[in-house]
Every structure is written in C-alpha cells, then in structure tokens.
C-alpha cells in the first residue's frame, strides 16, 4: 500500500492517506494526518482531486510499513460498499450501526460539518448537525455535487460519540 498525497480543489493543504478502495465517483482512504498516525477514514469525491502522487522518500516507505503492521488482521467493513453510487455510500452511513457521526467538508478545508445522516435523497443528503458543545442542532441539506470529503471514525468524531452516549444523547 502506497501513501498518497492528494491535492483537493480549493484546498491549500494536501491530504495524506492510504487508498483502501477506488470507484468511479468516490475513493476511500485511511486517513494519515501526520507521521505514523492513522485517524479514521475519508471518502473523497474523485472529481475534486486535482493531483495525486505517491511515495516521495524513504520516510514514506517507513510510514507504509507501519501502516501495514497496524492494519494487519483487521476486517474491513467497506468491502461491499459501492463507491460508484453516492446514494449507496450515504445509505451505508445511515444504516451502519458502527457509524454514528460523519464529518463533511465542502468548499473550505478548515470547515467541517459534523452530524448524523438523517435522510438520503437522490441529489442531496440531510444531516442533523452537532454543535461544538455536542448539542444537536437543526437538520441541514447538503448537495452531493458540492461535497468534497466525508470523514468517519476519526478520534474527534469517536470522542463526540462517547460523550453523546455517556449523556444519553445518541
């Protein structure tokens, strides 16, 4: 598995990740935000990828080896997900008991909308948003053609889920 550096349309910083699965519309990566850290997964809509490059040096090779050791023996629950269908991806998020929250990024890389999928439609998805204080907010509609990235299973999202469970809010 090669470490990939992705340049996303409208974003200043590159995203680092290990490709898990690629479809015509979306690709799924293990998120590698820094050094030897794996922090959840991200789905990227392929049309927003401006540039993708792989291994640059020996340090990347070491990261790749550590990655393989970290994931060895782990069952991947994403084998059956259809990355050629945005509806299938968001229906997966809605119905999967292991995915309580998603983080959606649209145009700005420093803005993430966090919440749970409440309704999946033909051209958009409805997300019940969560505030920075872990309070449920209104439901917002996000058009699929504007969504660049969807994060799941990150430390931040999992921490919010733990807090919500502890306080009986999820």
Three-class DSSP labels, 21-59: EECCCEEEEEECCCCCCCCCEEEEEHHHEEEEECCCCHH
This model's pTM is above 0.85: yes
pLDDT at 22: 95
> Is 70 exceeded by the pLDDT of residue 72?
no
Over range 15-23, report the average pLDDT.
93
pLDDT at residue 73, rounded to an integer? 57
* Arithmetic mean of pLDDT, 20-32: 95
- pLDDT for the residue numbered 74: 58
Mean pLDDT, range 39-51, rounded to an integer:
96
Element (H, E) at 68: helix 58-71
Q: What is the pLDDT of residue 57?
A: 73
Q: Is the pLDDT of residue 27 over 80?
A: yes
Instruction: pLDDT band for 88, please (50, 70, 90 cuts).
Output: very high
In this prediction, residue 64 carries a pLDDT of 81
- Indicate the burial class of 168 (C-beta count within 10 angstroms; 0-12, 13-18, 19 or more): exposed
Kindly state the tokens that stand for 155. 């430390």
CB–CB of 148/104 below 8 Å? no
pLDDT value at residue 114: 98
What percentage of the chain has pLDDT greater than the value 70?
Answer: 96
Give the tens place of pLDDT for each residue, 104-155. 999 999 999 999 999 999 999 999 999 989 999 999 999 999 999 999 999 9
Q: Give the model's pLDDT for residue 60.
A: 76
Structural domains in the chain, CATH included, are 3-166 (2.30.30.100)
pLDDT at residue 70, as a whole number: 75
Average pLDDT score over residue span 32-60: 89
Give residues with Cβ within 8 angstroms of 11, minimum separation 6. 109, 148
């Amino acid at each position: 598995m090669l470490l990939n550096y992705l340049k996303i349309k409208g974003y200043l910083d590159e995203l680092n990740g290990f490709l898990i699965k690629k479809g015509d519309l979306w690709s799924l990566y293990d998120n590698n935000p820094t050094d030897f850290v794996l922090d959840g997964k991200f789905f990227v809509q392929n049309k927003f990828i401006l540039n993708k490059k792989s291994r640059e040096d020996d340090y990347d090779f070491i990261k790749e080896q550590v990655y393989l050791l970290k994931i060895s023996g782990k069952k991947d629950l994403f084998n059956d997900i259809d990355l050629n269908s945005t509806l299938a991806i968001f229906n997966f998020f809605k119905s999967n008991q292991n995915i309580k929250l998603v983080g959606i990024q649209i145009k700005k890389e420093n803005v993430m909308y966090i919440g749970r999928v409440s309704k999946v439609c033909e051209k958009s998805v409805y997300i019940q948003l969560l505030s920075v204080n872990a309070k449920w907010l209104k439901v917002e509609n996000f058009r699929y053609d504007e969504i660049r990235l969807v994060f799941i299973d990150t430390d931040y999202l999992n921490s919010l889920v733990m807090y919500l469970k502890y306080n009986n809010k999820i």
